Structure 1
Amino acid sequence: MSDTITNTFNHNLPNADGYFGDYGGSFIPEELQTVMNEITQAYLEIREDQGFRDELADLYRHYVGRPSPVFHAKNLSREYGADIYLKREDLNHTGAHKINHCLGEALLAKKMGKKKIIAETGAGQHGVALATAAALVGLECDIYMGEVDIKKEHPNVVRMAILGAKVIPATHGRKTLKEAVDAAFEAYLKDPVNQLYAIGSVVGPHPFPMMVRDFQSIIGNEAKAQFLQQTGKLPENVVACVGGGSNAMGIFSAFLEDMDVDLWGVEPAGRDLHTDGEHAATMFKGEPGIMHGFKSYMLKDQDGEPQEVYSVASGLDYPSVGPQHSYLKDTGRVNYDVINDQEAIDAFFALSRHEGIIPAIESAHAVAYALKLASDHKGRSILVNLSGRGDKDIDFVVENYGEAYGVNVTK
């Protein structure tokens, strides 16, 4: 675990100004930039501190349950003709990859003397993970969540409340993830001294794309070593879903220099890839722009403002993406493609019924793409980052799709 933690903080990008090529940076008010500089300095110091690394490694092992296993999905492999492996982030404490960076951010906030951590959440996994970390280190916690997602992801809302967090609804616009980010930023601007905005993905102004990437890099560091140990070679393909992009950067980071490994980031095509507001395929349909304090690819409306977006997966409906993903798209190192709602739900049930693993709908997008790759590349190896489990989604899936799959459950 100590080697894995050391590798976590060993990256060449971004530069000192927070840029990954042309993307990233910090586009925020001057008074907030002063606070952001303090966060950057505190993070750069803390990540070199052996005491911090040891504390984080201990929590990863004894609290989160790391390392999460790599599982050979033999039934799916036989069915689709390729060796499919799953990095089981769904088995982490709180049920997803989000706990990896939430523990790091909570420890940073505590050491900086902050009294409260605040955040946005879409599917609720980041909210649950941050509420968990806040309870552990003794900080107040406010979570901003779109009103639509509060209804859709009710089990996670209950978990946050039980953990002591205050869930605050975002009631403007489409009332989903983008609006939750808006509301959290507004709250942060009111008191950046006593609060830390613990951003939930590799987005936002510098240093957050770097910091969240660093904490999530443990996924790739573990997976690479585990896959080598199990198979004697590296996977030919690595697949992860992309909304903001934290789970994808987490697993991609360890393989970026392994040019024989194809990397695939999977965005939501939603209900209709060719209709504005019916998808959230930022890399596939967007262009460079600035929102929420950073420059990256972005879906824009006719006025150049953030476009309304949609996905069946609450954690993927965001009109921008982490700046390092934009850099990796432009350099051609990562391939970005799409999966629509129906394909994701098909994969949700395929994994459930072939392997006994119920995935988060977000993760089902990656599974769906892996099944496509398997059909096109018989006999090849595919490593999927199974970023979260589907407990939070089962009521929504059964209510909206259950009949088509023979699931008839009455309350």
Structure 2
Amino acid sequence: MNEQAKPNSFRTGPDETGMFGIFGGRFVAETLMPLILDLEKEWEAAKTDPAFKAEIESLNTYYTGRPSPLYYAERLTEHLRDIAKKQGKTGGAKVYFKRDELNHTGSHKINNCLGQILLAKRMGKTRIIAETGAGQHGVATATVCARFGLPCVIYMGATDVERQAPNVFRMKLLGAEVKPVTAGHGTLKDAMNEALRDWVTNVEDTYYLIGTAAGPHPYPEIVRELQSVIGRETREQMMAAEGRLPDMLIAAVGGGSNAIGLFHPFLDDTDVRIVGVEAGGRGLNGEEHCASITAGSPGVLHGNRTFLLQNPDGQILEGHSISAGLDYPGIGPEHSWLSDIGRVEYVPIMDREALDAFQLLTRVEGIIPALEPSHALAEVIKRAPDMAQDQIIVMNLCGRGDKDVFTAAKHLGVEL
């Protein structure tokens, strides 16, 4: 832990320069700086504007379907208590899911997209671009563009286009132009590279709707604040259900938007343990993983300083995950800071563990999760049996698994 950086409150960042300790900031081309500064100015005005807040709340309620339920996973809880009993333990924490997969478009991504499309309109932008990995952010972006009548271009790695075909079709149905990116391994990093190139070329009319809590300041703060509706609702729902806060929060972390949305409202509640789950891929011994905090080092990528997968010369490694949404060799800068100061624990989960969890939840609770929250679920399966039965875990079930059935079938050797 970096003791000197430890704050009185864990919810105060970023500072005026966009830094969370040594992480964050703005590392962008000079061409983009005026637009970034305009965005920061518009965001500062919007977040204190009652009309902006009221419009987001109305859209969240009547378009997205918020609040999303907090669901007590009774059968999963009993299953994990049976496991504990077989191991000679008396534990087995109660497991709750924050069910953001029930949102319109099937994930947490819509929370951020609605807020940013309103910012784009306030700035007078007439064209939207975005990057996507699993396709959920692409679908959410295409959805809000259809809702507000704006054209959009979605950059998506060619590898992800193939493994997330249902979402590609959904984006096209919604009117988006999907541009496959063949550079690199054709995954999320490469899609973000192409989106940034587009933005530099079309700064006058284009708004870049970033999908995760990364990128140059103020994007990490914007995405965090728009996604924090998850954590705020969870606090209220837990108090209503149990009369107290949970003992542990768990969420999957790629770039980190769903996780920071759940975590942020609880950061100053130091009795609540917080765990972020990274993609361990095929193991941490080689390069076939995306565990940026667990196995990475600080560097600069996509406009911010954060933990990255890189070689000794600073070249970004490609990484790997069974989950397209976690297949990113970096992480949002606030997560890097929270790890550095010791407030949040970050752990890896392997592909095979996530796939096992994916199948278990489907069979036990009748809920098919996306492969992203399946990583978080695998960590729940590990931790719950070692916790007391009167303790509570809340996990963010941030996406539904419709998009991943073909990927899962392929890895399970099932022909469709």
Separation of aligned partners in 1, 2:284 and 2:238: 34
1:375 Cα shift?
Answer: 2.2
Find the counterpart in structure 2 of residue 77 from structure 1. 77
Structure 2 counterpart of 1:371, one-letter code? I
Offset at residue 304 of structure 1 (A): 0.9
User: How far 1:19 moved relative to its partner?
Assistant: 0.7
Distance 2:407 2:301 in 1: 30
Distance 1:377 1:343 in 2: 20
The CA distance in 2 between the partners of 1:258 and 1:233, in whole Å, is 12
Q: Which secondary structure state, in structure 1, belongs to the residue aligned with residue 412 of structure 2? A: helix
Corresponding residue number in structure 1 for 2:90: none
Residue 231 of structure 1: aligned partner: 242
For 1:181-192, what aligned pairs fall within 5 Å after superposition?
181-192=192-203
Could you say which residue in structure 2 is the equivalent of 1:263?
Answer: 274
Residue 169 of structure 2: aligned partner:
158
Aligned to 1:3: none
* 1:65-104 to 2 correspondences below 5 Å: 65-81=65-81, 82-104=93-115
* Partners of 1:301 and 1:150 in 2: CA distance: 27
1:249 and 2:246 correspond? no
Whether contact under 8 Å (1:72, 1:84) holds in the other structure is yes
SS of 2:191 mapped into structure 1: helix
Q: Equivalent residue for 1:342?
A: 352
The answer as to 2:26 corresponding to 1:15 is: no
1:220 correspondence with 2:208: no
What percentage of residue pairs aligned between the two structures are identical? 47
Partner of residue 386, structure 2: 376
Q: How does 1:233-382 map to 2 (within 5 A)?
A: 233-276=244-287, 278-379=288-389, 380-382=391-393
Deviation at 1:228, TM superposition (A): 1.1
Q: Which residue of 1 aligns with 2:89?
A: none
2: CA distance, partners of 1:272 / 1:339: 9
Deviation at 1:402, TM superposition (A): 5.2
- For residues 325-351 of structure 1, the C-alpha deviation after alignment (integer angstroms, 9 at most, x for no partner) is 011001100000010000000000111
Counterpart residue identity of residue 225, structure 1 = E
> For the residues of structure 2 that align with 1:151 and 1:69, how far apart are their CA atoms?
32
**Equivalents in 1 of 2:384, 2:137: separation in Å?**
30
Aligned length: 395
The partner residue of 1:388 within 393, 399, 406 is: 399
Deviation per CA, 1:170-195: give whole Å up to 9, x if none.
Answer: 10110111100111111111011210
CA deviation after TM superposition for structure 1 residue 378, in Å: 4.0
Gapped regions of structure 2 (runs ≥ 5)? 1-9, 82-92
Deviation at 1:11, TM superposition (A): 5.3
Other structure's SS at 1:238 match: strand
State whether residues 31 and 200 of structure 2, in contact with CA within 8 Å, keep that contact through their aligned partners in structure 1: no
Which residue is equivalent to 2:63? 63
Cα distance between partner residues in 1 of 2:147 and 2:14: 31
Q: Is the 8 A contact 1:107 1:137 kept in 2?
A: no
- Which of 186, 203, 207 is 1:175 aligned to? 186
Look up the equivalent residue of 1:51 and give its one-letter code: A
CA–CA distance in structure 1, aligned partners of residues 289 and 13 of structure 2: 30
Mapped partners of 1:243, 1:360: distance in 2:
13
Q: Provide the C-alpha distance between the structure 2 equivalents of 1:178 and 1:375, rounded to a whole number of angstroms.
A: 36
Matching residue of 1:205: 216
**What SS is found at the alignment partner of 1:387?**
coil
Q: Secondary structure at the match of 2:250?
A: strand
Instruction: Compute the displacement of 1:110 (Å).
Output: 1.0
**Cα deviation 1:370-400 (Å, max 9, x = unaligned):** 1111122242311000010000001221122
- Give the Å deviation of 1:31: 2.4
- Give the TM-score taking structure 2 as reference length: 0.93
Matches of 1:99 and 1:211, distance apart in 2: 14
Residue 400 (structure 1) aligned with residue 411 (structure 2): yes
After TM superposition, give the deviation of residue 32 of structure 1 in Å: 1.0
Amino acid at match of 2:204: V
2:207 matches 1:196: yes
- AA in 2 matched with 1:212: V
For residue 139 of structure 1, give the secondary structure of its aligned residue in structure 2: coil
> Residues 75-112 of structure 1, C-alpha deviation per residue, up to 9 Å, x if partnerless?
01011122000000000000000000000111110111
2:152 matched residue in structure 1 = 141
Matched-pair contact (CA < 8 Å) for 1:110–1:139:
no
Report the secondary structure of 2:347's partner residue.
Answer: strand
User: Aligned partners of 1:400 and 1:323: how far apart in 2?
Assistant: 32
